[in-house]
Structure 1
Amino acid sequence: MSNCHDLFIKFHDDEIYLKSDKKESLRKSRNALRDKIKKYFSEELDVKKPKFYGQGSYMMNTTVTPIDGEYDIDDGIYLEHLKDTDEGDWPTPSTVHSWIVKATKGHTSEDPVDKNTCVRVIYKANYHVDLPIYIKKDDQSPKLAHKSKGWITSDPKALTDWFKGEVQTKGDQLKRLVRYLKAWKDYKENDTKFPSGMILTILAANHFVSDYPDEDDAALVATAKEIHNTLSESFSLVRPVVPGEELFDNWSETRRTNFLNKLEDLVKKGGEALENQDKTEASKKWRKIFGSRFPEYQPPKDENKGSNSAIQTNSAAVLGNHGRSA
């Protein structure tokens, strides 16, 4: 049985992990936008400056380097000048969106995009910043300005805190598994619509298999198998924090079946890689899952061709449904 944990770590560290220089560049762009928005509220609207809370994968530290697409940052804007007013007196979501559009217009060469849930600012360097807008009264959960649904309960900070708690309990391997799942999505999505990164993150945390702390390959297969088995029985996922909605509520039967098939393919091909006696061949199977960014194993030139010592796992054989099997 081949152990490709070292190749997974190389794939993680060299190819998909967000590098510190890129993280700093994204942070600077985010902060420049914050300054521009605060200036607009102070000078143009003559109201109290909003506060900001980062959210999503950037704050969870699960962002991955995309193959060809854009990096994204989610930065929540909290309207301080409205938090002590009654909800019935709040402006419409379209109105508060228009403030952010005006505040950010001209910041980059492309005009901001006014979406239902946020205002998106697009940068030429293959990334964008999404700016959802909230009002949070001191004794209530935040409300998101949704252009088609109105002011709806949403607490992304609570979700970030929840995930950080999961990592604290289960270890940093959980974050790596989330990144692997996102990299798999990036390579495999094509015509099949995958779940969002947020949904993949919650699924990984809910179904994390802790039996393989030093074997990311086996841990990924075991966790993916748990996700597949659970969704096959009941295709349901509830957000673990308020508002606690069903996250698969609007999924069609076709989309559900397609995602289950993709998960089954990941488990099948990953299981074949785990069972392969030849580490080079095992790495080729992983490349079918992640693409050419995943490293292909090259045996040392002086390796004894009659021995498998360089490719054997030190782990005991595992019986059952998870990871490697005897």
Structure 2
Amino acid sequence: MPAVQKQFEDFHSAICFDEDDEKATLREKREIILKALKENLDDDVPSFVNFNQGSYSMHTGVVPLESNFDIDVGLIFDCKKDKYPDPVALKKKVRDAVDTNFRTVAIRRPCVTVNYMSGGEVSYHVDLAIYTEGDDGKLYLAKGKENSAEEHRIWEVSDPKGLTKRVCGAFEESDQLAQYRRCIRYLKRWREVQFRGAGAPLSIALTVAALHWFRPNFGASGKPVDLLAMLDWVETMLAQFTNEYSVDDGFHLRMKVVLPVEPYTDLMAKRTAAQMQNFKDKLAALRDALQEAYDEDLPEDACKHLKKQFGDDFKIPEKSETAKAVSAAVISTGNSA
């Protein structure tokens, strides 16, 4: 196995969404939106408290390649579901309160998205997830679009804080947790590089897949070996695929990635048979590249395989003194003086 841990960690530094300037900008956008909500919501709308959720709170965010920086914010309104039997009605009030200059606002099925524009392009966006708390103490998420049919406008039980706690507490050892987060980010960037358009697995599905199946890998020296951790994880994910039968698709591949908290959703459920096959094929190609990298002698040769999967931010090193020697030591079999 070649010594490529440095290249993996350099790659992580390049893709890790941990830049103070970007985080500060997102925090500023969040605070501006929260201020606008408090000032502009109708008087009959209950008060709310907010919390961060998603990759920002889980510390698994990556610098986007083609999309834009985002932050997920939960808003828990101080009312019961009965006040808004149609949850979209509350989402409309939130939209109207934040729909001002320099922003575009859209009601999506799981949230209200506030886009900040620059040069005609979206540069940042904030997703506002709307919740109420039930008598059972559980949170309920407002789901539905503005033009959704009545049966698709629902309050769905949800546990975003519980999920964040599970992801952030997956490993007690700090070095294991750090490797786990690095590998999640590697796979998220791989997703951006390898998938174009519809059909890509959800980012949260990859995070939850790590929660289910990732295992840390450290060498005899106690140092992390991200190459082997990734290889083992991808092989385990490939082993989750099964053949299922449906009237529409006949026998087809399925892989379930189930939320470990309510509502226990299968995060891969909406993938079509073709999308699921494509996902497996791309995972298999990643597995093969990781194995080929492992089988190489020189870091620069190993990294050529990895760059094809992870993109240009995975750098190929110059030949160095760390390259494996190709000649064996000469052993004398004759008598010595």
C-alpha separation in 1, matches of 2:324 and 2:133: 67
Q: Which residue of structure 1 aligns with residue 129 of structure 2?
A: 132
Taking only the aligned residue pairs, the percentage that are identical comes to 28
Pairing partner for 1:157 from 156, 161, 164: 161
Q: Which residue of 1 aligns with 2:140?
A: 143
Instruction: Tell me, yes or no, if structure 1 residue 307 matches structure 2 residue 330.
Output: no
- 2:324 and 2:20 map into 1 onto residues whose CA distance is 43
The structure-2 alpha-carbon separation of the partners of 1:102 and 1:274, relative to structure 1 and needing over 3 Å to count, comes to: same
Q: TM-score, normalised by structure 1?
A: 0.85
Match of 1:114 in 2: 107
What is the one-letter code of the residue matched to 1:158? G
The residue matched to 2:241 in structure 1 has which SS? helix
Matches within 5 A, 1:8-87: 8-41=8-41, 44-80=42-78, 82-83=79-80, 87=81
Task: Say whether the 8 Å CA contact 1:192–1:259 is kept in structure 2.
Answer: no
SS of the residue corresponding to residue 74 of structure 1 reads: strand
> Could you tell me the TM-score, scaled by structure 2's length?
0.83
Matches of 2:127 and 2:91, distance apart in 1: 12
Secondary structure, in 3 states, of the residue corresponding to 1:172? helix
CA shift for structure 1 position 168: 3.2
- 2:94 aligned residue: 100
Residues in 2 aligned to 1:116 and 1:305: alpha-carbon distance in whole angstroms: 52
Pairwise CA RMSD:
2.2
Q: Is the 8 A contact 2:15 2:185 kept in 1?
A: no
C-alpha distance in 2 between matches for 1:135 and 1:115:
18
Report the equivalent of 1:270: 290
CA distance in 2, matches of 1:305, 1:288: 21
Contact 1:144/1:153 (<8 A) preserved: yes
| Secondary structure in structure 1 of the residue aligned to 2:240 | helix
Are residue 296 (structure 1) and residue 316 (structure 2) matched? Answer: yes
**Where is the strand percentage greater, Structure 1 or Structure 2?**
2
Give structure 1 stretches of 5+ with no counterpart: 310-326
Query: Which structure would you say has the larger Rg?
Result: 2
Residue deviations 1:104-142, cap 9 Å, x none? 011x52321121221111113522101111101353311
Number of matched pairs: 300
Q: C-alpha separation between the residues in 1 aligned to 2:130 and 2:207?
A: 23
Query: What is the distance in 1 between the residues matched to 2:95 and 2:156?
Result: 20
Return the structure number with greater helix share: 1
Distance 1:131 1:258 in 2: 31
Q: Which stretches in structure 2 are left out of the alignment for 5+ residues?
A: 145-151, 244-253, 328-337
For residue 154 of structure 2, what is the amino acid of its counterpart?
G
